[in-house]
């Protein structure tokens, strides 16, 4: 073991990337060519491969022209480098069009990760791809022949800015999320993954989608789950996986000994999340394990019930024991509701996240002793101060009817138990039903729903971890401040950018006002729909009125 550690350390390298982020055209589902965000003229963006211990230096140039951008390294803890986490308004400024930014950090973890834009609504427009960190101490080394990386995703025909405008709008008072047009497997459909009989593969699966959870299975083959979200697990046999947006699994799959046929490999989006399922929607995507180029690639057999493995049954191979009793409990009640503008939003404790004028990290660094007062970060960042070394429990009470996959930057958590559906709020006299983590990583870390729609409608909170030690240890490189200047973002003061009086939050970005007293969401819905009906009625009349008069044809079907 010590030899492996020495070898691991000896092989630590600096891996440099030069990324020019630009619009390119792609048509991964074969339905509509559309502008997507690519890297160096390429889409899909490249899968990145590094080894544990490596330093990544990514020089990013924003060549989009019309949007700011950013890169977040999803699942990488950024221990000691919170400023490289890539979340605009949290730990840095967005990279303005024509601007550049250098990410520089070491990766002291291994497993299946991904990188994506963390700018509002941007990753579903294409800026997302797998990041694989090879482990010199891989417990499964020698038990497989080769690795394969396969991403899963939902796909929209339209660009996010327009979709977001319609989603968070008085015309969508129920907050119905846009339903994707297609499912993708490795950013295409009808993918063939060439395999050799008798071999065992480690397949790394990443759901890089905006919204849909995916079920994944391979006909005629069972899988052994060996990794979830960067944590090696004891093998768990599974016929089918359930992979939420942003989640990752690695599975070992042993091939058959004969190569007479090819086997469908399926992903199916969980339509429970969709408010309506258009009849034209193919929510499945098929690929194949390709044993034989001359054999047919038959369609998948239809499955009646989805029997997915439960990630609560997974155990880490490192045997990490349960953290001790918490010293800090953060309770977050999740709800969906309308605000005074009639649009539907997502709340933690009745607060929707709104980006502050100053990135929260720069507020922490520039506010001296006041950095431990959550109010200076602005009410709408939903800030929680965490002290160094605390064991923190997050109690998440889901008062919404939907499922939400949560992501915490900077930490992994121990998920101890999960309540049954509709079990109500956590009851403190029941034991542990919430994920603890150890505050061993000073930084500013977002905790948010990874459904991009809900992130945009406010479902996020900010963990301000050990701000005073951070003030002593962190040095922000000059090019980070330059990015702020290019984006016109202030780099000091409270959430409102006030420096003189750090407690004066006048001018801060604030949430829309609540619904007027006595006004209910139901009322808004009724008004909106009667208005819509009236408008539709008028449009129909006008349309008929404008139609040329002809003997036959129009309206016959």
* Residues forming the site for ligand NAG (CB under 6 A): 29-30, 44, 47, 57, 102, 104, 148-150, 186, 188-190, 193, 198, 256-257, 268, 282-284, 302-303, 427, 429
- The helix/strand/coil state of 356 is coil
* Stretch near Cu ion under the rule CB under 5 A, chosen from 384-392, 444-452, 475-483, 548-556: 444-452
Nearer to ligand NAG, 48 or 459 (CB): 48
How is residue 436 annotated by DSSP? E
Nearer to Cu ion, 81 or 213 (CB): 213
CA pair distance 68, 60, nearest whole angstrom? 12
Residue 30: which of ligand NAG, Cu ion, none does it interact with, CB under 5 to 8 A by kind? ligand NAG
Shortest approach of ligand NAG to residue 79 CB, angstroms? 13
Nearer to ligand NAG, 84 or 524 (CB): 84
CA pair distance 249, 243, nearest whole angstrom? 8
How far is CA 348 from its chain centroid? 18
Query: What's the token pair of residue 317?
Result: 């191979």
Spatial CA neighbour of 69 closest among 130, 27, 113, 22: 22
What DSSP line would sit under 121-188, residue for residue?
A: T-GGGT-EEEEEEE-TT-TTTTS-SEEEEEEEEEE-SS-HHHHHHHHSSTT-TT-PPPPPSEEEETTB
Nearer to Cu ion, 152 or 459 (CB): 459
- The helix/strand/coil state of 104 is strand
Q: Does 352 bind Cu ion (CB under 5 A)?
A: no
Q: What count of other Cβ atoms lies within 10 Å of the Cβ of residue 157?
A: 15
Burial zone of 513 (CB within 10 Å; 0-12 exposed, 13-18 middle, 19+ buried): exposed
Shortest approach of ligand NAG to residue 120 CB, angstroms? 25
Shortest approach of Cu ion to residue 334 CB, angstroms? 8
Shortest approach of ligand NAG to residue 303 CB, angstroms? 4
Spatial CA neighbour of 403 closest among 305, 274, 522, 249: 274
Q: List, in order, residues 6 or more apart from 144 with CB less than 8 Å away.
A: 199, 200, 201, 202, 252
What DSSP line would sit under 304-350, residue for residue?
A: SS-----GGG--BTT-PPPP---SEEEEEEEEEEEBTTS-EEEEETT
Spatial CA neighbour of 477 closest among 28, 57, 38, 181: 57
Nearer to ligand NAG, 106 or 489 (CB): 106
What DSSP line would sit under 241-262, residue for residue?
A: EEE-TT-EEEEEEEPPS--S--
Spatial CA neighbour of 498 closest among 366, 383, 374: 366
Shortest approach of ligand NAG to residue 146 CB, angstroms? 10
Query: What's the token pair of residue 429?
Result: 């006299």
Shortest approach of ligand NAG to residue 310 CB, angstroms? 19
Nearer to ligand NAG, 149 or 502 (CB): 149
Nearer to ligand NAG, 478 or 513 (CB): 478
Nearer to Cu ion, 107 or 346 (CB): 346
Q: Which residue is nearest to ligand NAG (CB)?
A: 30
Residue 461: which of Cu ion, ligand NAG, none does it interact with, CB under 5 to 8 A by kind? none
Shortest approach of Cu ion to residue 400 CB, angstroms? 8
Shortest approach of Cu ion to residue 404 CB, angstroms? 3
Shortest approach of Cu ion to residue 448 CB, angstroms? 9
Residue 449: which of Cu ion, ligand NAG, none does it interact with, CB under 5 to 8 A by kind? Cu ion
Size of the site for Cu ion (CB under 5 A): 4
Residue 198: which of ligand NAG, Cu ion, none does it interact with, CB under 5 to 8 A by kind? ligand NAG
* Stretch near Cu ion under the rule CB under 5 A, chosen from 5-13, 110-118, 446-454, 542-550: 446-454
Nearer to Cu ion, 316 or 405 (CB): 405
Spatial CA neighbour of 515 closest among 284, 345, 327, 275: 345
How close are the terminal C-alpha atoms of the chain, in Å? 73
Shortest approach of ligand NAG to residue 27 CB, angstroms? 8
Q: Which helix (H) or strand (E) holds 443?
A: strand 443-449
Q: Which residues pair with 337 in a beta bridge?
A: 345
Nearer to Cu ion, 202 or 451 (CB): 451
Nearer to ligand NAG, 216 or 437 (CB): 216
Shortest approach of ligand NAG to residue 88 CB, angstroms? 20
Residue 303: which of ligand NAG, Cu ion, none does it interact with, CB under 5 to 8 A by kind? ligand NAG
Which residues between 449 and 468 bind Cu ion (CB under 5 A)? 449, 451, 454
How is residue 369 annotated by DSSP? G
Whether the Cβ atoms of residue 361 and residue 90 lie closer than 8 Å to each other: yes
Nearer to Cu ion, 218 or 455 (CB): 455
Nearer to ligand NAG, 413 or 426 (CB): 426
Q: Does 273 bind Cu ion (CB under 5 A)?
A: no
Distances in Å between the alpha carbon of 292 and those of 222, 261, 451? 20, 6, 38
Residue 521: which of Cu ion, ligand NAG, none does it interact with, CB under 5 to 8 A by kind? none
Query: What's the token pair of residue 281?
Result: 């929607």
Binding mask 285-324 for Cu ion (x = CB under 5 A): ----------------------------------------
Shortest approach of Cu ion to residue 209 CB, angstroms? 13
Shortest approach of ligand NAG to residue 249 CB, angstroms? 15
Q: Which residues pair with 344 in a beta bridge?
A: 338
Which residues between 396 and 425 bind Cu ion (CB under 5 A)? 404
**Count of all residues that appear for the chain in the document:** 557
Using CB under 5 A, list all residues that contact Cu ion.
404, 449, 451, 454
């Amino acid at each position: 073991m010590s030899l492996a550690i020495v070898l691991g350390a000896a092989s630590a390298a600096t891996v440099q990337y030069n990324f020019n982020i630009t619009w390119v055209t792609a048509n991964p589902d074969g339905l509509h060519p559309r502008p997507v965000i690519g890297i160096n003229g390429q889409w899909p963006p490249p899968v990145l491969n590094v080894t544990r211990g490596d330093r990544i230096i990514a020089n990013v140039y924003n060549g989009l022209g019309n949007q700011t951008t950013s890169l977040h390294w999803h699942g990488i803890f950024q221990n000691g480098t919170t400023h490289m986490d890539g979340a605009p308004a949290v730990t840095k400024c967005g990279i303005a069009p024509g601007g550049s930014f250098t990410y520089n950090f070491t990766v002291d973890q291994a497993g299946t990760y991904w990188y994506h834009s963390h700018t509002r609504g941007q990753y579903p427009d294409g800026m997302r791809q797998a990041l694989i960190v090879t482990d010199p101490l891989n417990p499964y080394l020698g038990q497989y022949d080769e690795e394969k990386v396969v991403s899963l995703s939902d796909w929209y025909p339209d660009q996010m800015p327009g979709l977001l405008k319609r989603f968070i709008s008085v015309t969508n008072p129920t907050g119905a999320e846009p339903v994707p047009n297609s499912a993708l497997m490795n950013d295409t459909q009808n993918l063939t993954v060439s395999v050799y009989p008798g071999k065992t593969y480690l397949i790394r699966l990443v759901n890089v989608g905006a919204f849909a959870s995916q079920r994944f299975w391979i006909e005629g083959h069972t899988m052994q789950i060996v990794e979830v979200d960067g944590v090696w697990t004891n093998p768990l046999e599974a016929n089918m996986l359930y992979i939420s947006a942003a989640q990752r699994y690695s599975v070992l799959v042993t091939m058959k000994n004969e190569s007479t046929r090819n086997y469908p490999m399926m992903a199916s989006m969980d339509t429970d999340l969709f408010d309506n399922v258009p009849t034209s929607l193919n929510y499945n995507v098929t690929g194949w394990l390709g044993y034989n180029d001359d054999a047919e690639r038959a369609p998948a057999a239809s499955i009646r019930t989805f029997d997915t493995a439960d990630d609560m049954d997974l155990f880490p191979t490192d045997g990490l024991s349960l953290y001790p009793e918490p010293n800090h409990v953060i309770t977050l009640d999740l709800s969906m509701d309308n605000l005074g503008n009639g649009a539907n939003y997502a709340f933690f404790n009745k607060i929707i996240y709104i980006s502050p004028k100053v990135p929260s990290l720069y507020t922490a660094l520039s506010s001296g002793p006041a950095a431990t007062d959550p109010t200076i970060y602005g009410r709408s960042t939903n800030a929680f101060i965490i002290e160094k070394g605390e064991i923190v429990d997050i109690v998440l009470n889901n008062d919404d009817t939907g499922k939400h996959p949560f992501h915490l930057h900077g930490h992994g958590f121990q998920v101890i138990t999960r309540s049954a559906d509709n079990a109500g709020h956590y009851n403190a006299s029941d034991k542990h039903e919430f994920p603890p983590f150890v505050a061993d990583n000073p930084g500013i870390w977002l905790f948010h729903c990874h459904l991009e729609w809900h992130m945009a409608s406010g479902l996020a909170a900010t963990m301000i971890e050990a701000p005073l030690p951070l003030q002593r240890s962190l040095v922000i490189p000059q090019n980070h401040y330059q990015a702020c200047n290019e984006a016109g973002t202030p780099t000091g003061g409270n959430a409102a950018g006030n420096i003189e009086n750090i407690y004066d939050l006048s001018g801060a970005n604030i949430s829309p006002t609540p619904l007027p007293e006595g006004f209910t969401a139901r009322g808004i819905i009724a008004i909106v729909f009667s208005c819509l009906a009236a408008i539709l009625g008028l449009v129909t009349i006008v349309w008929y009125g404008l139609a040329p008069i002809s003997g036959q044809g129009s309206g016959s079907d």
